[in-house]
Chain A
Amino acid sequence: MPDEPLIRARGLVKRFGDFTAVDGIDVDVHKGEAFGFLGPNGAGKSSTMRMIGCVSTPTGGTLRILDLDPTRDGPAIRARLGVCPQQDSLDPELTVRQNLTTYARYFGVSRRTARARAAELLEFVQLGERATSKVEPLSGGMKRRLTIARALVNEPEIVLLDEPTTGLDPQARHLVWERLFRLKQQGVTLVLTTHYMDEAEQLCDRLVVMDDGKIVAEGSPRALIEEHSSREVVELRFPDEALDAVAGKLDCLGERVEVLPDRILLYADDGDAAAAEVHRRGLVPAGVLVRRSTLEDVFLHLTGRTLVD
């Protein structure tokens, strides 16, 4: 690990009135890393991102960004950050290009450089052909890509992306992933939140799972799977039987058994062996699927399957 982290939070707290949205989290993000915040709705991801973006004052704990103090050096820090907020904030009446050039001016970029960068960034997010069209009629995916481009006009050292691909179709998501990966290769530090586990697995070197304002797990996607789930999962379907009764017969098979309304999940390091054992015990599932454990299994295990709100 390189020396001093670019972002360092200790016991970071954010309260809104009596409500604690972020409840004493410790986070280190290092240079060149892609760091993810995962968590269900209301977990406190955006609240954390806004504190890191220096647009929300921490209620407690310490936060240092780029070795500066966000409450004192907000503008100096923000000058070196790029922010793609959860909700788009593009100007619908301006053109695609104007949205970038006017924003670049807030960072003291000269008009000439702003135009050059806008052209470059629009190519980067594949919006070059829409440069002179208004933002209003653009699709959701195009707006998101434009927002990401806007976050890059100041050539930031850290880019904060709050749900960069929510609402995008698979093509657009893959394009965004590929562009973010390229940024990372250029040495830009990425901090992102997402609800997509595949996105987290693809992009993040390290991530934390937040629940109810707290960090409940931390590590690389691989390490989290190893730590919190078995290597493989067997999905068993028994259409005509009471699943609870079936589950009783699966005792001691694998590390954990989970009964869902439509199927039983069997967490085991060797899925095929576990599936064979199911048959040996005289059970005849209508469907058997052996698959690798994913981050989604970890996530649901840690944060529960029930909706929070």
Chain B
Amino acid sequence: MAHPTLAVLEFNLEGYRRTWRGSVLSSFVLPILFVIGFGLSVGSFVDAGGRLGGVSYLDYIVPGMIASTAMQVAFGESSWPVMSKFLWIRTYHAMVAAPLRIADIVGGDLLFILLRVVSASAVFVAITAIFGALHSAWAITVPLVAGLLGLATAAPIFAYAARLEVDGYFPLLQRFVVIPMSLFAGVFFPVESLPVGLRPLAYVSPLWHAVEVCRSATFGTGDIYPIVGHLGYLALWVVGGFWLARLSFRRRLIG
């Protein structure tokens, strides 16, 4: 007998069967657009400025873009969908009436997001590899790091979404947290170029840690200890987020 968590994953996959074409298409199109946009246009200006030394701008931002895309996919899959499964579809209410535990419900949904993020990142890695933006075999670990970031993003948002009664907060979260993070957490330029006062904001963001690890992987550089530290920090978000999500789900569903 399959684990109940997998039954929840299966439910998600069953729904995804209707929309996968669109999402797979965008996971191919997005990297290609980035390669063209940054590799050929913006990149040529930056490279001409020589601020990144011998590194081409495209190669510099690819690992960051992968991480940032992972975060956005995770945000998209965990915000409105989770809220609507509480408020409108009442999917979760149906699930708790079955012999599932709260951990199965949260876990199954997170597994689905993990699969989505890992597969989208794998496509991103494959396409940018074709354009020669990757410099180390370690790049194959990038989808896994992206998956970890996806969980680190989704789990706390699950916890938050489970407490909402009205739509309306996610656009704020997107504008004031997700977008600033993708702009300033080391994706497009080193955090060291930020004013000193703003840097801590980048350092606490899960995205920056993932970007650092992904960049080490695509360049095959970096020391082991900082990498372990970054991964550990992401794992903390996953574990803490999962714990909070379970708590919120329980509060909402088992009244």
Residues of A participating in the B interface, judged by any CB pair closer than 8 Å: 16, 50, 53, 55-57, 74-76, 78-79, 81, 83, 85, 87-94, 98, 101-103, 105-108, 110, 150, 154
Residue pair B18, A93 in contact (C-beta under 8 Å): yes
Closest chain B CB from A154 CB (angstroms): 8
**Complex Cα distance A75/B5, Å?**
13
Residue pair A105, B90 in contact (C-beta under 8 Å): no
Residue pair A88, B90 in contact (C-beta under 8 Å): yes
Of B18, B89, B94, the residue contacting A103 (CB under 8 A) is: B94
Of A83, A92, A98, A101, the residue contacting B89 (CB under 8 A) is: A92
Q: How large is the interface on B (under 10, 10 to 19, 20 to 34, 35 or more residues)?
A: 20 to 34
Stretch binding the partner chain, chosen from B38-46, B95-103, B153-161: B95-103
CB-CB nearest 4 A-B residue pairs: A89-B90, A106-B98, A89-B94, A105-B7
CB neighbors of A among B1-50 (8 A): 1-2, 4, 7-8, 10-11, 14-15, 18
Closest chain A CB from B188 CB (angstroms): 36
**Complex Cα distance A88/B91, Å?**
10
Is B115 interfacial (CB-CB < 8 Å)? no
Query: Chain B contact residues: over half helix, strand or loop, or mixed?
Result: helix
Residue pair B14, A75 in contact (C-beta under 8 Å): no
A56-B254, A89-B89 known; A102+B14 contact, CB < 8 A: yes
Residues of A within 8 Å of B255, CB to CB, are 16, 50, 56
Closest chain B CB from A103 CB (angstroms): 7
Residue pair B10, A102 in contact (C-beta under 8 Å): yes
Residue pair A106, B254 in contact (C-beta under 8 Å): no
Of B14, B96, B101, the residue contacting A98 (CB under 8 A) is: B14
Residues of A within 8 Å of B253, CB to CB, are 55
**Complex Cα distance A253/B159, Å?**
65
- Contacts A/B (CB < 8 Å), 13 sampled: A16-B255, A53-B97, A55-B97, A57-B254, A75-B99, A78-B98, A85-B90, A87-B93, A90-B89, A102-B14, A106-B95, A108-B1, A108-B7
Residues of B within 8 Å of A83, CB to CB, are 97
**Complex Cα distance A81/B94, Å?**
13
Residue pair A89, B91 in contact (C-beta under 8 Å): yes
Residues of B within 8 Å of A93, CB to CB, are 15, 18
Residues of B participating in the A interface, judged by any CB pair closer than 8 Å: 1-2, 4, 7-8, 10-11, 14-15, 18, 89-91, 93-101, 253-255
Residue pair B99, A76 in contact (C-beta under 8 Å): yes
Residue pair A55, B96 in contact (C-beta under 8 Å): yes
**Complex Cα distance A87/B100, Å?**
20
Residues of A within 8 Å of B14, CB to CB, are 94, 98, 101-102
**Complex Cα distance A102/B89, Å?**
15
Of B10, B89, B97, B99, the residue contacting A91 (CB under 8 A) is: B89
Question: Which residue on chain A has the smallest CB distance to residue B96?
Answer: A55
Question: Which residue on chain A has the smallest CB distance to residue B100?
Answer: A106
Residues of A within 8 Å of B1, CB to CB, are 108, 110
Question: Which residue on chain A has the smallest CB distance to residue B105?
Answer: A106
**Complex Cα distance A74/B103, Å?**
14
A55-B253, A94-B15 known; A106+B7 contact, CB < 8 A: yes
Among B4, B7, B97, B255, max chain A CB count under 10 A is at B97
Closest chain B CB from A114 CB (angstroms): 10
**Complex Cα distance A305/B7, Å?**
48
**Complex Cα distance A102/B4, Å?**
11
Residues of B within 8 Å of A102, CB to CB, are 7, 10-11, 14
A16-B255, A106-B99, A107-B98 known; A91+B15 contact, CB < 8 A: yes
**Complex Cα distance A89/B92, Å?**
8
Residue pair A106, B18 in contact (C-beta under 8 Å): no
**Complex Cα distance A85/B253, Å?**
13
Closest chain A CB from B96 CB (angstroms): 5
Question: Which residue on chain B has the smallest CB distance to residue A87?
Answer: B90
Residue pair B94, A105 in contact (C-beta under 8 Å): no
Residues of B within 8 Å of A101, CB to CB, are 14
Question: Which residue on chain B has the smallest CB distance to residue A110?
Answer: B1
Question: Which residue on chain A has the smallest CB distance to residue B4?
Answer: A106
Question: Which residue on chain A has the smallest CB distance to residue B90?
Answer: A89
Of A78, A85, A98, A150, the residue contacting B99 (CB under 8 A) is: A78
Closest chain B CB from A218 CB (angstroms): 26
A55-B254, A107-B99 known; A89+B2 contact, CB < 8 A: no
Among B11, B99, B100, B101, max chain A CB count under 10 A is at B99
Question: Which residue on chain A has the smallest CB distance to residue B12?
Answer: A102
Closest chain B CB from A159 CB (angstroms): 12
Known: A56-B254, A91-B15, A105-B10. 19 other contacts (CB 8 A): A57-B254, A76-B99, A78-B97, A78-B99, A79-B98, A85-B93, A89-B93, A91-B11, A91-B89, A102-B14, A103-B98, A106-B7, A106-B8, A106-B95, A106-B98, A106-B99, A107-B99, A108-B7, A108-B99
